Structure 1
Amino acid sequence: MSNDPAALPEKAREEDAKVEFERKEGEPTSAFKGASWAALFIGVAAYLIGLFNATMELNEKGYYFAVLVFGLYSAVSLQKAVRDKEEGIPVTNIYFGISWIALMISILLIGIGLYNAGSIILSEKGFYGMAFVLSLFAAVTVQKNIRDTQRARERD
C-alpha cells in the first residue's frame, strides 16, 4: 500500500485531518485563545496609542504607562496565585495577599490619576479606564489559556 495521501480513500483522509486538529481535554478552543490575544493586543495598543497622542507632560505619560505595566503584572500574578491554590500548589499567604494588594493598588492608581487629570476630558478618561480594564481582563485570560493548554498537553 502506498504512503501517498492522495491514494487514501477520502473518508480516511478526513479522519486523519480530524485527529491532527483535535483539541485536548480541558484545552481552550483556538477561537477563544485568539479572541483573548486580540483583546489583550487591542486593549494595550489602544491605551498606548491614546497615551502617545495625549497632550500631557512626559512625566504624566510615564505615570500612566507604569500603572498599566504594574496592573498587567499584578493581574497575571494574582490569577496564577489563585490557580496555584486551587490546584494544591503551595502559595504563601504573603504572596497571595501581596498579589491582591498590588492589583487593588494599580486599579486605585489609575482611578486617582484619571480623577485628578485636569488636562484630560471626560470621554478620554473613560477611554483610558476601559482600555485599562480590557487589558487586565485579557491578560488574565491569556495567562489562563496558556496554562490550560500546557496542562491539557501534559496529560497525554
Structure 2
Amino acid sequence: MTDTTDRAQKPTPAFIGASWIALLLGMGTYFIGLFNAHMQLNEKGYYFTLLVFGLFAAVSLQKSVRDRAEKIPVTNLYLGLSWCALLISLCLLAIGLWNAESLSASEKGVYGIGFAMSLFASVAVQKNVRDLARFKGEEEPEDEAIRSQDPFAQ
C-alpha cells in the first residue's frame, strides 16, 4: 500500500448523496432550460455539446491533478489539454450566452448556474467514485500496473 492509500478516507454517504444530487440538479436545470427554450435544434445541440464537453474536461482535469498529487504519471501535454478543454468550454458557453438574443437575462443565468453547478458536482462525484474504489482496494493493482508500464513515468 502506498502512503496516499493509507491517508484515503471513505467518503460519507451524506457527501456522496449531496454530490450526486448537485450533479443531477445542475444537469436537470440545464436540460429543462434547453427543453423549454425557444431556439433552433442546432442551438440546443450546441449547448448540450458544451455541457458534455465541459463535464468531461472537468473530470479529466480533476483526475490529472489528483494523479500528479499521488505521484501517478501524467504528461504535461494531457494536463495542459485538460486545462484548455475546460477553459474552452467555459469561454464558448459565455460567448454563446452573450450572443443569444432570444434568451432573457434570467434564462442566461439559469444556463450559467446549471453549467457551473454541473461542473463542480461532476468533480465531487468523480472524487467520491475514486475514493470509494481506493477504499475498497479496487484501484491499487491497476495503478501499480500503470506505474510499471508507463513509458512516460517520471
| TM-score, scaled to structure 2 | 0.83
Q: Which has the larger radius of gyration?
A: 1
Q: Deviations over 1:93-135 (max 9, x none)?
A: 0000000000000000100000000000000000100000000
Q: Distance in 2 between matches of 1:83 and 1:153?
A: 18
Q: Does 1:139 align with 2:149?
A: no
Q: CA deviation at 1:154?
A: 1.3
2:90 to 93, 96, 107: 107
Q: Distance in 1 between matches of 2:137 and 2:9?
A: 11
What is the aligned partner in structure 2 of residue 77 from structure 1?
A: 60
1:43 to 3, 26, 50: 26
What is the letter of the counterpart of residue 57 of structure 2?
Answer: S
Of all paired residues, the percent bearing the same amino acid is 62
The runs of 5 or more residues in structure 1 that have no matched partner are 1-24
Q: CA deviation at 1:75?
A: 0.3
| TM-score, scaled to structure 1 | 0.82
What is the aligned partner in structure 2 of residue 148 from structure 1?
A: 131
What is the letter of the counterpart of residue 22 of structure 2?
Answer: A
Q: Distance in 2 between matches of 1:55 and 1:72?
A: 24
Q: What CA RMSD, in Å, does the superposition of the two structures yield over aligned residues? A: 1.0
Alignment length, in residue pairs? 131
Q: CA deviation at 1:68?
A: 0.3
Q: Does 1:92 align with 2:75?
A: yes
The runs of 5 or more residues in structure 2 that have no matched partner are 1-7, 139-154
1:88 aligned counterpart, secondary structure:
coil
Q: Deviations over 1:40-69 (max 9, x none)?
A: 011111101110110011111000000000
